[in-house]
Amino acid sequence: MKFFVDTADINEIRTLAETGLLDGVTTNPSLILKSGRDIKEVLAEICDAVSGPVSGEVVAMEASAMIAEGKKLAEIADNICIKLPLTMDGLKACKALTSEGYKSNVTLCFSANQALLAAKAGATFISPFIGRLDDMAIDGMELIEDIRTIYDNYGFKTEILAASIRTVNHVKEAALAGADVATIPPSTLKALVKHPLTDKGLEAFMADWEKTGQKIV
């Protein structure tokens, strides 16, 4: 599974990129607002910090305007992935842009039928929102499983990008369900490494090592 981080905080991105675990970044208008920065400026810095896809989202509602915005965003760097809403206009823009070789991420997916349409439109990524479905007492993982089955049935190349991830269990469950990518908030991504038994074991090892009086360097 590929790991993307869901943030526009360049410092968080650079820190996580240093681990070698980061395969890409997703942003959205809310994250750009939170950053307090110009979208083109922050996307340029993110694209310089990571080599994988960086999703920058259009804000137009009509297809031709989405296409124009998408092409403008794509001028920022070669690894920009144009993020489009799952609407008819968004799908129309997706088809046009992917036909010209641009990478696309169709977002705000809440049903398998929507995911099927995105794949037919040539989307590079489809972003089903797990957490928001869970908020409505709907099992978001069932959606991942359904999309995986449909895409495998027909050989679609669109990658399933599990989004709206809230917990470390969401990451595990998305991986088990066959998601290709998980886009994860920085705090949740960092929490994946944590386990109380790891901490306890390390504490014991360090105590014993101190008693040896040795140094490695």
Catalytic residues: 83
In degrees and rounded to multiples of 5, residue 163 shows phi and psi of: -120, 175
3-state secondary structure the chain: CEEEEECCCHHHHHHHHCCCCCCEEECCHHHHHHHCCCHHHHHHHHHHHCCCCEEEECCCCCHHHHHHHHHHHHCCCCCEEEEEECCHHHHHHHHHHHHCCCEEEEEEECCHHHHHHHHHCCCCEEEEEHHHHHHCCCCHHHHHHHHHHHHHHHCCCCEEEEECCCCHHHHHHHHHHCCCEEEECHHHHHHCCCCHHHHHHHHHHHHHHHHHCCCCC
Single-letter residue type at 208: D
